[in-house]
Structure 1
Amino acid sequence: MTYGKTLLLILFSTFSIGAFSQQNTSSISGNVKDGNELIIGASIFLKGTKQGVVSDHQGNYQLKNLSAGTYTVSISYIGFEKDSKQVVLKANQQLILNFSLKKDQQQLHDVNISGKTKTQQVKESGFSVNAIETKKYANTTADLNQILNRSTGVRIREQGGLGSDFKFSINGLSGKQVKFFIDGIPMDVMGSAMSLNNIPVNMAERLEVYKGVVPVQLGADAMGGAVNVITNQKASNYLDLSHSYGSFQTNRSSLTGQFVEQKTGLIIKGSGFFNSSENNYKMKNVDLVVGGTRVGNHITDVDGAEYVKGDAKRFHDNYLSALGQVEVGLTNKSWADVLFIGGGYNEGHQDLQTGFDQNTVYGKVRRTNFAKSATLRYKKNNLFTEGLTLSAFAARSKDTYKTTDTVFRNYNWDGSYYDKGYTEMGNSIKTINNIVRPRTYAMGNLSYVINNQHSLNLNYTIDHLKNENYNQLQVGRDSLPGTVNKQIIGFAYQQNLLDNKLSNTIFGKYYHLGLARAKYINGRYVKQDTTFSNFGYGIASRYKITEGLGVKASYEHSYRLQEAEELFGDGLNLQGNPDLKPESSHNLNLGAYYSFQINKSAFFFEASGFYRNAKDFIFPVPDVRSKLLKNENQSSVRITGFESEARYSYAQLLSLSLNLTYQSAVNTTKNGQTESYNVEGTYLNKIPNQPWLFGNADFTIGQDNLLGKDTRLQFNWFTQYVNWFYLTWESKGNPNGKSDIPTQFIHNASLSYSLQKGKYNISAECRNLTDHLAYDNFKLQKPGRSFSVKFRYFIQ
């Protein structure tokens, strides 16, 4: 398939259509806003005529091919008061008419607003994307990981309780192949504690999950997809404060707030969270030591000691994380629509209970990290000319990780230990390993709306990171320096044709990586520099057959550049591999959706298939000798699959969603194409330690004013299903003794009660209701049944 010729043909055809559609007649155009926020999907029509349009993805509209005369332009949108304006249009005049709508509180209370919300608009774009409104989860104790794990095509595998490492997968691609953003800004720029398993749901207004094909405005080398967390962008005063307490001594607190001075446009916004847990849940059927000579927990003589199976509580898994950040800025100035400067600090403290599998038990290993950052945000609409918008962001941050491994012991699950000749993590000397990573990041995005049918987007990202790794207990601090310098340029052309029935986004990306690192050769460190440059490209299209029925397709040839953690290690369970090469993949999505509404009942159905063909696939491989993981390039991996979702809602009373995902990730590397002994003889085997069939069911029912005026009582039930999968290569080992992770059904339930229109809220929650033995990454046990209660105070 010649992709270049195909793209040229598409470009030629679409430009030709656009050229013939241009006529020199009168028109009325403008944008629709809610304060400073653009409204997508508002209905604009000329009263007394049949002519009308809806506002596009940037809140713009255009009524064209109009004759001179007097018109009444009317506008409506669910949840807002209707508005109309009378205008006198002259011959060949292009009139600009903007609208600013006000909320209709009664309508927001009475109607089902799950129709054409922003979430629905995103799902009906040409990209394969999940869009999740977090409002109904706001009173739960869930973090963003737990909300996203209910989404179609997404599988998140945690290594334990609160604060544990996790592996995020979208359609079979995972780890660093997936990028995470907050309002379009890379999440890891904010520091190591800013991760999905730490961020409470209250901090997000909407979640967007892009699968395989990622818009250029995110400026990312995301081969597997991206998650964009959208926070509250409205210029209004609000305060959201919550605290939850649960099993295993788990505490989670969060605070977000904003103060707006309307006269000056001054805005002060702040957010923060505090999480802590002992994570002392029960480990079932693990190895315990009996016998031997002991002094307390110290086994001084192993003669007569033996292992038996039993249950034990985790005894070294305390976790604490905290974050605070503040932004101060101005809005609605002639020289800037948005200008913010900000600063943030976060830190984490974690006792480590296990290595990458639960047979390796730690009793004194500890990890701490802290990060600080400074940020600058700027945005200007209609810069120099109508329709030209500039957005810019810059950040300077510094992340520091410290791993302490200073005792020569071997621990067991009952807390006992015996002495050995090396540390818990296998080091011959005591280590307090430090990793310091200062980082400079900048992104600029320039968009230009030519008219209601055509727009352009140019994005440039530069990301420079320095890595320093040393043992502070070692004289001279034998440092392993390295730098990673990434530059990504993206350009996109978007068109909306045939009265917005057909939407095409055609884009290209340029990737550049500069890598400097030191390799240990013949007893000394030798500096080596390498560079990589290449081009990617793609297209995302959507065609509306009817207002609620559409088909869409997207394709991208993408690259994913190596990350510092993969190249230099994490100082914990992952050793570095400076010889890694960038990954590349051909990603294809084909799907269809159908939505309709009958009175207060709303229905949505979506199904899609996906294909991924990855080269130089980076995959973590366990090293039994070092008890560490190491990333390696596998020559080729092919992933195919399909996913489906059905959603139903009835007004504000109930909602039900069901989804199912099947994915087959197989190794297409033939023998002799790689030096890795792990790949030899595994041609066309499924990639191990990856689920291939999973699904979710989510049911919510709630009633307003049931227990008094301005109250709401709501119940939620969530079930997750994961089919069994192999832990190791399916072709290796005895067929009757292969290690696998068994099929799992996990049930969760929550009940919440709100007073004074959501000002005061209390909820109770139970996870893993049936106390099912739950496994995840490398068959690490997750917590059993747990309970929690949450209090939330919200005013706006």
Structure 2
Amino acid sequence: MKVRQNGGLGSRSSISLNGFSGRHVKIFIDGVPMDGMGSAFQLNNIPINLAERIEIYNGVVPIELGADALGGAINIITNKNSKSFADVSYSFGSFNTHKTNINLGHTTKSGFTVLLNAFQNYSDNSYPVYTQVRDFETSIISKDSVWTKAFHNNYHNETAVLKTGFVNKKWADQFLVGITLGKDYSDIQNANIMKIVYREKSRKGTTVMPSLIYTKKNIFTPGFDVTLTGNYNRNYNQNTDTATREYNWYGHFIQKKTVGEGVNSIVEFYNNNANASLNLIYKLNEQHSFALNDNWSTYQRENADKNIIKDQFSLPKDNSSNYKNVVGVSYKYNYNKKWVSTIFGKHYIQSTTGMVNVGESESFPTYKEMTAKSDAFGYGIASTFLLNDFQYKISVEKALRMPSAIELMGDAVLERANASLRPEVSENVNLGISYQKDFAKNHAVYFDASGLYRNVTDFIQRQIVPRTGEASSVNHGQVQNIGVNFEGRYYYKRFFSAGGTVTYQSLINKEKYDKYGNAQLSQTYNDRMPNQPYFYANGEAEIRIPDLGAKANLFTVGYHLHYVHSFFLRWPSLGESGEKTSIDKTLSHDIIASYAMKSGRYNISVEGRNITDQRLYDNYSLQKPGRSFNVKLRYFIM
């Protein structure tokens, strides 16, 4: 797995898994999709202290998640400790970065519980960048890049999550009602390409999200478990772009006759998101169990500025909506915990009303309101077999991914709407084998090898409009992915561990003819898909020294290596366009040291990221921060 970012703290983050990235990989928190939770509560800003563990599904996604994921899923399980505890941390580091997290919980003997998680993030994100600069006197962008600094890149968010209810009662294992309140602000430094830079464009948003979770095992009858979750989020957004200037990376500007550095001026709207999920599991006996999941979600965008002045570039209608329902059923067979097989089926429904570009140009769009509906079935089987120290795995499925709200309706900043997107349909095969062995008392090894095949129809491709730097999502056609993953780890007692992963997975364009239907062989047939890393590796080593300085203390020092091979930004077969067509290979190194005292009550950690100060890129040459250092102080008591 690889985390891809567009820049520093608060920038757009995505997961690369099984050769897919972005919205192809679904992200959940406690089994609830994070899609509609608002920008103040997302992968790019939630604290690690929030998570008890993180589940990664790189093959078949269990129906309990109600997912329409194509390349896998990430499920962040939060800490629901039934004991009373306090976990407080503060960190500070390079680029004037500050993070604070307060995590408190209290449970009475009667089972009444209160959980509070409050956090804030702040950064100037003023790191050096190496880029081309426009000369306003000649209106020419320099061929050679120069070093300058991000100067309009501030980000901060403040969020609080409060949950209260009961645990370990006869009528509920867990019954919690909650409220999430958050706000965030972000300067917009540049578009999706580095050559377009801003100095006055910004966005801000607020989140108000009530939630409910109810779980009970052995309800009504032994072996029958139920889980019900739900939330509603009214998310306010304001995007501001009123400057009459055009800037370059030196901060120099020229006056414009039009308003707005980008495409939009002032945009205010509400995102109304609702999500509900019901899980029913019936364990007939040790061998047979059945499960049903129904996940329902709806999204509506509502104009918040009733006095907005329309012009020729405005969308004809600001309101749009999306409805989605995924129902799944499964049967699991467990033979003596050695052989486990699951067969499942899913039904997908989606209906979207929004704006579609019916013009012939992405640079000068012509929008029309349309309604699109989808109705489809998916199915599959997964099996695993344990023999001695080996585990063998295989899964085959037909999976679907419905377009996300952002892909369908845009974000009114840098993502354009396309309500006509069709669901992606994929035929998947996953094979794997793993080996785990303890030997000579003090030594242990773990190895894993897996292979995958994906054949995707109506692949949703994210494209960048060169003139404006905006992104748009389109159905590309047919894409094939064949990949292999290797992992190996060695452990010596609890003192030393080392390991690494190697991944090769290449998305190939299998759309043989061009989109105009004239039987003309496509120039990009059999090309790798643009902006998709296909070969990368990670390595790590860690030393743990117990009882350093006093009993129950622990000192840990670790090293991390990250390698990403060069990959194409654009179609390889289309040749040079006067701009860079690929991202160079990158190799970076991190060092992390931590010291825990009094069984973890007092903690201090120091991180050095990208210590050799390499230029790192993930998406469309958007540069990530260089060398940075961070110190974290943490207090924990239970």
Q: Under TM normalisation by the shorter chain, which class is it?
A: over 0.9
Q: CA RMSD in A?
A: 2.4
User: 1:471 deviation in Å?
Assistant: 6.4
Matches within 5 A, 1:400-439: 400-427=236-263, 431-439=265-273
Q: Give unmatched runs, 5+ long, in structure 2.
A: 360-364
Partners of 2:139 and 2:277 in 1: how far apart?
Answer: 64
User: 1:159 deviation in Å?
Assistant: 1.1
Partners of 2:30 and 2:521 in 1: how far apart?
Answer: 39
Do the aligned partners of 1:470 and 1:479 also contact (CA within 8 Å) in 2? no
Partners of 1:469 and 1:178 in 2: how far apart?
Answer: 29
Match of 2:301 among 467, 479, 494: 467
User: 1:338 deviation in Å?
Assistant: 1.4
Does the C-alpha gap of structure 1 residues 526 and 777 become closer, same or farther in structure 2, counting only changes over 3 Å?
closer
Partner of 1:287: 133
Partner of 2:69: 222
Partner of 2:196: 360
* In the alignment, structure 1 residue 237 sits paired with structure 2 residue 84: yes
Does the C-alpha gap of structure 1 residues 520 and 315 become closer, same or farther in structure 2, counting only changes over 3 Å?
closer
Does the C-alpha gap of structure 1 residues 306 and 286 become closer, same or farther in structure 2, counting only changes over 3 Å?
closer
* In the alignment, structure 1 residue 331 sits paired with structure 2 residue 170: no
User: 1:259 deviation in Å?
Assistant: 0.4
* In the alignment, structure 1 residue 163 sits paired with structure 2 residue 5: no
Question: Secondary structure, in 3 states, of the residue corresponding to 1:205?
Answer: strand
Match of 1:600 among 431, 435, 442: 442
User: 1:583 deviation in Å?
Assistant: 0.9
Does the C-alpha gap of structure 1 residues 227 and 419 become closer, same or farther in structure 2, counting only changes over 3 Å?
same
User: 1:606 deviation in Å?
Assistant: 0.4
Match of 1:687 among 529, 535, 538: 529
Matches within 5 A, 1:442-521: 442-469=276-303, 474-475=308-309, 479-497=317-335, 499-517=336-354
Does the C-alpha gap of structure 1 residues 537 and 776 become closer, same or farther in structure 2, counting only changes over 3 Å?
same
Does the C-alpha gap of structure 1 residues 608 and 525 become closer, same or farther in structure 2, counting only changes over 3 Å?
closer
* In the alignment, structure 1 residue 751 sits paired with structure 2 residue 589: no
Segment drifting more, 171-180 vs 611-620 = 171-180
| Percent of aligned pairs sharing the same letter | 36
Partner of 1:175: 22
Partners of 1:421 and 1:527 in 2: how far apart?
Answer: 30
User: 1:200 deviation in Å?
Assistant: 1.9
Matches within 5 A, 1:58-457: 154-262=1-109, 264-287=110-133, 289=135, 302=137, 307=142, 309-427=145-263, 431-457=265-291
Match of 1:774 among 616, 622, 633: 616
Partners of 2:510 and 2:366 in 1: how far apart?
Answer: 37
Return the TM-score normalized by structure 2: 0.94
Partners of 2:437 and 2:284 in 1: how far apart?
Answer: 32
Residue identity matched to 1:517: G
Does the C-alpha gap of structure 1 residues 371 and 702 become closer, same or farther in structure 2, counting only changes over 3 Å?
same
Residue identity matched to 2:275: Y
1:164-202 CA distances to partner (integer Å, 9 max, x unpaired)? Answer: 112322111122111111111122343322222212222
User: 1:744 deviation in Å?
Assistant: 0.6
1:403-423 CA distances to partner (integer Å, 9 max, x unpaired)? Answer: 111012111111111112334
Matches within 5 A, 1:634-653: 634-653=476-495
Residue identity matched to 1:410: E
Do the aligned partners of 1:288 and 1:310 also contact (CA within 8 Å) in 2? no
User: 1:534 deviation in Å?
Assistant: 0.9
Match of 2:558 among 716, 725, 732: 716
Partner of 2:402: 561
Do the aligned partners of 2:131 and 2:194 also contact (CA within 8 Å) in 1? no
Do the aligned partners of 2:13 and 2:43 also contact (CA within 8 Å) in 1? no
User: 1:483 deviation in Å?
Assistant: 1.3
Do the aligned partners of 2:355 and 2:417 also contact (CA within 8 Å) in 1? no
Question: Secondary structure, in 3 states, of the residue corresponding to 1:315?
Answer: coil
Does the C-alpha gap of structure 1 residues 525 and 740 become closer, same or farther in structure 2, counting only changes over 3 Å?
closer
Partner of 1:85: none
Partners of 1:710 and 1:524 in 2: how far apart?
Answer: 67
- Report the structure, 1 or 2, having the larger helix content: 1
Residue identity matched to 2:274: T
Does the C-alpha gap of structure 1 residues 426 and 786 become closer, same or farther in structure 2, counting only changes over 3 Å?
closer
Question: Secondary structure, in 3 states, of the residue corresponding to 1:776?
Answer: strand
Q: Give unmatched runs, 5+ long, in structure 1.
A: 1-153, 290-298
Residue identity matched to 2:67: A
Does the C-alpha gap of structure 1 residues 679 and 573 become closer, same or farther in structure 2, counting only changes over 3 Å?
farther
Matches within 5 A, 1:612-691: 612-673=454-515, 680-691=522-533
Partners of 2:320 and 2:521 in 1: how far apart?
Answer: 29
Partners of 1:338 and 1:586 in 2: how far apart?
Answer: 38
Does the C-alpha gap of structure 1 residues 705 and 176 become closer, same or farther in structure 2, counting only changes over 3 Å?
same
Do the aligned partners of 1:406 and 1:431 also contact (CA within 8 Å) in 2? yes
Question: Secondary structure, in 3 states, of the residue corresponding to 1:770?
Answer: coil
Partners of 1:388 and 1:579 in 2: how far apart?
Answer: 41
Partner of 1:55: none
Partners of 1:763 and 1:185 in 2: how far apart?
Answer: 31
Partner of 2:362: none
Residue identity matched to 1:655: S
1:479-526 CA distances to partner (integer Å, 9 max, x unpaired)? Answer: 4212111111110111111x2211001111010112223558899986
Residue identity matched to 1:231: T
Partners of 1:236 and 1:668 in 2: how far apart?
Answer: 55
Does the C-alpha gap of structure 1 residues 319 and 736 become closer, same or farther in structure 2, counting only changes over 3 Å?
closer
Does the C-alpha gap of structure 1 residues 238 and 200 become closer, same or farther in structure 2, counting only changes over 3 Å?
same
Does the C-alpha gap of structure 1 residues 304 and 209 become closer, same or farther in structure 2, counting only changes over 3 Å?
closer
Partners of 1:736 and 1:789 in 2: how far apart?
Answer: 43
Q: If you compute each CA radius of gyration, which structure gives the higher value, 1 or 2? A: 1
* In the alignment, structure 1 residue 587 sits paired with structure 2 residue 428: yes
Does the C-alpha gap of structure 1 residues 257 and 304 become closer, same or farther in structure 2, counting only changes over 3 Å?
closer
Do the aligned partners of 1:556 and 1:588 also contact (CA within 8 Å) in 2? yes
1:206-255 CA distances to partner (integer Å, 9 max, x unpaired)? Answer: 11111242100001111121100112233111111111000000001112
Return the TM-score normalized by structure 1: 0.76
1:692-726 CA distances to partner (integer Å, 9 max, x unpaired)? Answer: 11000011111111222221111011010011111
Question: Secondary structure, in 3 states, of the residue corresponding to 2:623?
Answer: coil
Partner of 1:551: 392
Partner of 2:538: 696
Question: Secondary structure, in 3 states, of the residue corresponding to 1:176?
Answer: helix
Question: Secondary structure, in 3 states, of the residue corresponding to 2:4?
Answer: strand
Partners of 1:372 and 1:724 in 2: how far apart?
Answer: 42
Partners of 2:163 and 2:417 in 1: how far apart?
Answer: 36
Partner of 2:384: 542
Question: Secondary structure, in 3 states, of the residue corresponding to 1:217?
Answer: helix
Partners of 2:140 and 2:425 in 1: how far apart?
Answer: 51
Partners of 2:192 and 2:67 in 1: how far apart?
Answer: 29
Partner of 1:39: none
Question: Secondary structure, in 3 states, of the residue corresponding to 1:485?
Answer: strand
Do the aligned partners of 1:433 and 1:472 also contact (CA within 8 Å) in 2? no
Partners of 1:172 and 1:473 in 2: how far apart?
Answer: 45
Partners of 1:736 and 1:395 in 2: how far apart?
Answer: 49
Partners of 2:398 and 2:352 in 1: how far apart?
Answer: 23
